[in-house]
Amino acid sequence: MPIKCDSSSAIYAVLVLASILSIALGALAWARTTSSFLPLPTWIPALATLLPILTPLVFAGTRLLFNTASHRLTQPIQILNHIHTILLTAIATIALSYIFPGNILSCHLEQQWQTYFHNKDAHAIRAIQDQYQCCGLRSIHDRAWPFKGNDNGDNACELQFGYRQSCMVPWRGVQEGTSWMVFAAVLGISLVKIGFAQLSSRRASWMSSQFLGSERNRQRISGPGLEEGDDNEESSGEARRTMLPHSRPGHENVWGVD
């Protein structure tokens, strides 16, 4: 038996695929931000991971409340929808700010590395160096781990691990890729939101057309019955008129005078 696929089924399939891709991209960006100690705030990819899950639920609940709630709840529902849109816009804007312009991204990376170096966070700097096999930030002697001290010089990382490149280029590339993942996840969430809105409006118009069609059918069914009732009333009126008493022949001039 062939499977019938209408436009609504295709839209649902696209929305499910967009939600899955958004969740996967957000989760991957979240994992990279944490494991690579990127300057991107952790809550950005975290929201990009959770919003694809919450958006369909929130939208369905919002539509249900909008259809069943009183007019007093209409304005808070609209405010909630606007907050959701503003949140998506903010996440996308922040993600892009860690890509463009290039000097701002370099500044973010510089400040993050300097924070680790100032706090003597050996775990963070060593994790970055081991992951990308690099030493220091802008050069292999720039604030590298092991830190410079009584027993170590600027070249301690180079001598101990043998890495020959600095960490700026690979670390920057990971940050750019992670930001693009977050931005793509936000686009997927926006697509899901728009798709649910289209399906909701299409369902509302379909229900309206079905209601109007049923009203027309009811009027067509009731119309002939009314005409038949009018005909019956006319025929019964004629019958009553025929049964009225008439003057009989031979008695026309009972009181008449010759």
Q: Sign (positive/negative) of CA torsion 204, 55, 52, 194?
A: positive
The pLDDT of 202-214, averaged and rounded, is 49
Give residue 121's pLDDT. Answer: 95
Q: Is the pLDDT of residue 91 over 60?
A: yes
Res. 176 pLDDT band, cuts 50 70 90: very high
42-90 tens-digit pLDDT: 999 999 999 888 877 766 666 666 565 555 656 666 777 788 889 999 9
Q: Is residue 103 part of a domain?
A: yes
Q: Is residue 193 part of a domain?
A: yes
- Number of structural domains the chain divides into: 1
Q: Is residue 180 part of a domain?
A: yes
215-241 tens-digit pLDDT: 555 566 655 544 455 555 555 555 444
Q: Is the pLDDT of residue 244 over 50?
A: no
1-14 tens-digit pLDDT: 444 556 767 777 88
Q: Is the pLDDT of residue 25 over 90?
A: yes
148-171 tens-digit pLDDT: 887 888 899 999 999 999 999 999
Q: Is residue 201 part of a domain?
A: yes
Q: Is residue 36 part of a domain?
A: yes
Q: Is residue 223 part of a domain?
A: no
Q: Is residue 229 part of a domain?
A: no
Give residue 231's pLDDT. Answer: 53
Q: Is the pLDDT of residue 137 over 70?
A: yes
* Contact between residue 109 and residue 39 where contact means Cβ atoms under 8 Å apart: yes
Could you tell me if residue 121 is left (phi over 0), alpha (psi between -120 and 50 degrees) or otherwise beta? beta
Range with the poorest average pLDDT among 28-32, 71-75, 117-121: 71-75
Q: Is residue 23 part of a domain?
A: yes
- Domain housing 148: 7-211
This prediction has a pTM of 0.73
Residue of higher predicted confidence among 203 and 77: 77
